[in-house]
Structure formats: structure tokens, C-alpha cells
A and B are shown apart, each in its own frame.
Chain A
Amino acid sequence: MVTKRGKQVHLDELPIESRTFLKLFWRQLKRSPLALASLFVLTVLYAMMILAPWISNTIAYDPKATQSSYVGRISGEHPQVNEPPSADHWFGTDHLGRDLFSRIVWGSRISLNIGLFVALVSILIGVSLGAVSGLHGGWIDSLIGRFTDVVLNFPFFFFAITIVTVLKPSFWNIVWAIALLSWTTICRIVRANILSLREQEFFLAAKSIGAGTVRIILRHLIPNTMAPIIVNATLTVAGAILAEAGLSYLGLGVQPPTPSWGNILFDGKQYFPQDFWYTFIPGLFIFITVMCINFLGDGLRDALDPKLSSEG
């Protein structure tokens, strides 16, 4: 007999629920209000990114309409250059008279996507190198280990700036520049995990029934190291968004006229401190996004790894 919702029930009467990875994970995550709130904010931000064309067509302005090209749609009045936030232009207008709210909405496409792509590329490089390293061992392991050390020696911003200036700042060059410096942690985690997993019996069992290396990696080893990979990928997204913003602040982000939160801030910097809101608003978006991702990452770590649940 067990107690369920205050009633005594026989064990056999309890419904059998299968606990998939996702369900377990959701159950844990629900306990952390901060992580849930962050997940909600991030969902809104990503929805905004996907709905950008619709938003600028219906409730905001065309992000490309400058003061001179502007045809009034809501109020019929010509917007001014560097207009402070108002009911008409929620975040004000920029130095060319473009609606800043609309540019922030469109800018999320660059900032949020760079985070995602950097994480994807880092996982791809980190997991494959880490898996090969841990599984193969021997000289390949040492080679990859030394190579990881070398990459860890590159000073992050100095190196990213070098790559971006030498190759020209574009979306993909920025993704590559950041990703090539971000895969090392994932690689080390995967390697260490695989080293301990290969000592366990299920690994031997899989091998003894003749499973190939690729199958063992994909079906047995990777799923078992999923938790730390996901947590680390989350932190990589946050780091990449900050790095892109930093590069943009130096004028080495995605180039205008494409808006990104970073290059809006870069433009606004010329009108600092008179038009303070111009730099404040894009920075606030970067800050909130990165903070939510960090909270979510922390919640995920607690949810996915019971051993760590009380630690920092």
C-alpha cells in the first residue's frame, strides 16, 4: 500500500507512467520558478524573432524606413531623427529616423541566431572530437588533448577580432570565429564521460553483441552524456550572444544596414550620453536574454543532474 494524494492505494492500482527523458526533465524543471520564468521570456523573444516581419508590418514600422523615405502609416507625421521613446515609436527612432522597436525586433534574428549556431557548431566539433578521443584513447587522445590545450591558449577577444578583421565581419564569419574558440569545454566533458562509461557493463554488452563503433557512440554513449552537453550548450549560447555584442560594440559585428542588437548599440554610442535610451535599450535586450539563458542553464543543470542539485 502506498499513499497517493492522501488516499491509501494498492500498488497495483497505480497507473504505470513511462518516464521519458523529457518528462523527467520537465518534472524537475517545474520546481524551479526562476528557470520556468526564464523559459517563458526566452519563448517570447524567440517568437518575436520568428514573427519579425509580421510585427513590423502590423504593430510597428518598417525597420528600413528612414526619415526621408518615410510615409506615415499610423500618425501620418514624419518621424524625427533620434526621437526619444513615445507612444508612436515605443523605443524612439535612430539617427536616420528609423523606428527602433522594429529594428530591435529584426535585430533579434542576428543576435539570437548567432547564439544558436555557435552552440550547434561547438557541439558538433566538441562531441565528435571528445567521443573519438575518449573511445579511441592512445595517440589520438593525446593529439586531440594537446590540440584542445592549444585552442585554450588563444585569448578569446584578441583572437576573435583577428579572425573577423582578417576575414571581414559577416554572420557566418562571426559564428565561426566564436565557435572555433568555444568547443573545448564540451570536448573535455564528453571525453571524460566516455572514459567512465566505457568501463560500465552496458558498454561491454553492446560490444559483445557486435555493435559497431558508430552505433555505440550514437546510441549508447552520446545519450548518456546528453545532460552535461545540454547544460554546456546553454551556457555557450549565452557566451556567444555576449561575444557577438562585444564584437559589434567594436564595430566588428554584422554590418549595416542589417540590424543586430550589438550594431544598434554601436550606432547609438555616437549619440551617448545625450540620447541615452539609444544605447540603453539594445543593451537591455542583450542583458535580459543572456540572463534568462543563464538561469535556464542553471535550472537545467539541477534538473538533469540530481547529484548537483544543491550545488552552485
Chain B
Amino acid sequence: MLNYIIRRTLILIPTLIVTTFIIYAIVVWTPGNPIAVFEDPSHPLSQLEKEKLIEKYGLDKPWYVQYSNWAVLFAQGDMGRSFQWSSAVWPLIRGRIWATVQLTGLALILAFIIAIPIGMISALKQYSLLDNVITAFAFFGISMPNFWFGLLLIYGFAVTLNLFPVSGMNTVPEPSASWGFLLDRLHHLVLPVIVLSTASIAGFTRYMRSQVLEIMRAEYIDTARAKGLSARVVNGKHILKNAMLPLVTLLGLSLPFIVSGALIIEQVFGWPGLGRFFYTAALGRDYPVIMGILTLTAIVTLLGNFLADISYAIVDPRIRYD
């Protein structure tokens, strides 16, 4: 087990290096002039100014030097300076992650709370009317373009019924009382969280359903029934517990969603999070910001996969890794 963890940890680093290298190659070395960002059409840069910029950002160095300079600085926690905002990248990102996490974290928690019982019921009553209705909803949720769903909700609940705010994180001016502030924030969170969690609920429900169905066919369930255990005990203890095991994996695999899951929805609801920030950076070709956010999400994804594997190995003693 310990051996396995060490091996998995050692693989993390080369994987991360190759990942960032490919991202760097795509972002920085694509055709087109990276210093064009600074070029003001009405005020063309002189040759000297261009050369200065090229030197300042190290663009005159060979590719491997450029990449390793970036990587060494990144490893020390220095993501470089944003072209657009003339500030260091990390404080800019840090300020926006929290906004995104409120959205995605709540959506994810909600998805798990709703999907586990629904998926379980759906499987226990396989092919019943209830199961068919749940399955139909799951397909709706998976197939709906989430930005469109968001627009529908805004139209219905914010514009027509006037129940929720159309966009933003808080009412302007912000309520001063801390309770008022919190309620106001929650009020703004309702619609985007519903939209974000819908697809996850649908996916998790299907997953849970197939897990439970598989376990219901296992022989130890027949044994439990044959012993005369009540349906409640069999369902709650034998089936539910075993079906929850793989959810540990699902939780780990959902980790990147927390950082990158809300990109389009932030745009729809005017939520000042990481996704919107990335979008503006991408349009403005703000390379240090693009690199910073992409690398950060890649790290979170790697960690998520890592945690999923490790925790699964810990909870399920049947799995042997040697």
C-alpha cells in the first residue's frame, strides 16, 4: 500500500511537467506575435521598444530556456506578471478563486446530497414509473446546454417572477449587517447553483443507480435476504454502504470541477469568478494569466485523480496494489 502511494506520488511530477510543457507550447509558441498584446494600433511601437519588450519577457531566449525559466519560477510560487493588469498573477487569481468555489462547492455538495438517495431509489424500484421518471430527468439534465438552462431560469424566476436577482454576487450597495450580507449572497447563489448542480445530479444519479443494480445481483445480498434480514437492513447496510464506496472516487474526480466547472455559468450570471477572469485573459492573450490558471487546474486535476485512487484503495480492502 505504502509502496503504491509512493509510486503514484512519483508519477505526479513528470506528468505535471509534461502537461505544463504542452500547455506552454500551445499558449506561447503559436504563430502570432506575443508582444502584439502591447501594441496600440494608433501608437505603433518602435523597433527599440519592441526589442526591449522581447528582452524583458525573455522571448529572445531558446524555447527550453523560456520554459524552464517559467517552470522554475512557478515552482517557487511566482506565476509572473499579468500583461493586462500590470500586477502579479497569483493575487489576481486568488481573489477570484473564492468566488468560484462558493458556486461550484455548493453545487457539488447539493449534487451528492440529492443524487445518492435518488439513484438508490431508482435502482431499488427498477423499471417502475418512478425509475422511468428519474431516468428521464437524468437525460434532461445531461443533455441540456447549461447556459441555456441558466437563461431559462433567469427569464422565469428573475425577470418574470422577480424572485431572484438576474446577476452578480451581491446587491449594490451591499447590505451592511453581516446577516443581511450572507442572506443577500445566498439569494444570488440560488439560480447559478441550481444550474450547475443539475448536470452533476443527473450524472451522479445514473452512476449511483448502476452501482446499486450491480450490487443487488451480488451473492452476499441473496445471503443477507436468506438469513431473514429485513429489507431495511439489507438496503441500508448491505447495499447502500457498498454502493457508496465508488463515490469516493467520484468525489476525487469532481475536484477539478470546483476550479473549472463554472466557466460558462459565471459568464451567464455575471459572477466575478475564475472562469470569467480566464475568459478575459484568453481574449486579451494575457499569457502569464492563461498559463497560471491552466497549470493550477491541471494540478488540481492531478491531485483529484491521485486522491481518488488512494482513498479508493484505502476504503476498499479488496483492491490490492502491488
- A residues near B, CB below 8 A? 146-147, 149-150, 152-159, 161-163, 165-167, 238, 242, 245-246, 249-250, 265, 269, 272-273, 276, 279-280, 283, 286-287, 290-291, 293-295, 298, 310-312
Contacts and interface: CB of A to CB of B under 8 A. Distances in A.
Contacts of A272: 151, 154-155
Interface string B286-306: 000010011001100110010
A310 B263 contact: no
Interface residues of B, number: 53
Contact of B26 (A162, A245, A273, A295): A162
A212 B38 CA distance: 57
Contact of A311 (B23, B214, B290): B214
B209 interface: yes
Interface of B: 11, 14-15, 18-19, 22-23, 26-27, 30, 32, 126, 135, 139-140, 142-148, 151-152, 154-155, 159, 206-207, 209-210, 213-214, 256, 259-260, 263-264, 267, 275, 278-279, 282-283, 285, 290, 293-294, 297-298, 301-302, 305
Contact of B155 (A150, A242, A273, A293): A273
A286 B135 CA distance: 20
Nearest to A295: B139
Contact of A150 (B15, B32, B275): B15
A242 B14 CA distance: 32
Nearest to B16: A153
Given A150-B19, A167-B30, A249-B147, A161 B139 contact: no
9 contacts: A149-B305, A154-B294, A159-B294, A161-B263, A162-B290, A167-B30, A245-B145, A272-B151, A279-B148
Contacts of A279: 148, 151
B282 A162 contact: yes
With a 10 A CB-CB cut-off, give which of A158, A276, A279, A311 has the most chain B CB atoms: A158
A150 B22 CA distance: 9
Contacts of A295: 139
Contacts of A249: 145, 147, 264, 267
Contacts of B145: 242, 245-246, 249, 283, 286-287, 290
Cβ-closest 4 pairs across A and B: A283-B148, A312-B210, A291-B143, A155-B260
* Interface residue SS majority, chain B: helix
A294 B260 contact: no
Contacts of B11: 146
B251 to A, nearest CB: 17
Contact of A283 (B14, B23, B151, B298): B151
Given A155-B298, A158-B297, A283-B148, A166 B27 contact: yes
Contacts, number: 126
A311 B278 contact: no
B207 to A, nearest CB: 8
Given A146-B15, A273-B159, 9 more contacts: A146-B18, A155-B260, A162-B27, A165-B285, A272-B151, A280-B151, A283-B145, A311-B214, A312-B206
A249 B32 CA distance: 25
A287 B140 CA distance: 8
Contacts of A165: 282-283, 285
Given A161-B278, A273-B159, A311-B213, A153 B298 contact: yes
B298 to A, nearest CB: 5
B144 A287 contact: yes
A294 B214 CA distance: 22
Q: Which of B209, B214, B263 has the most CB of A within 10 A?
A: B263
A157 B263 contact: yes
Contacts of A293: 143
Given A155-B294, A294-B139, A286 B15 contact: no
B140 A157 contact: no
B27 A290 contact: no
Nearest to B274: A158
A155 B15 contact: no
Contacts of A298: 139
A250 B23 CA distance: 21
A87 B54 CA distance: 60
Contact of A294 (B142, B147, B148, B155): B142
A162 B297 CA distance: 14
Contacts of B159: 273
A296 to B, nearest CB: 11
Contacts of A294: 139, 142-143
B298 A154 contact: yes
Contacts of A280: 151-152
A149 B22 CA distance: 13
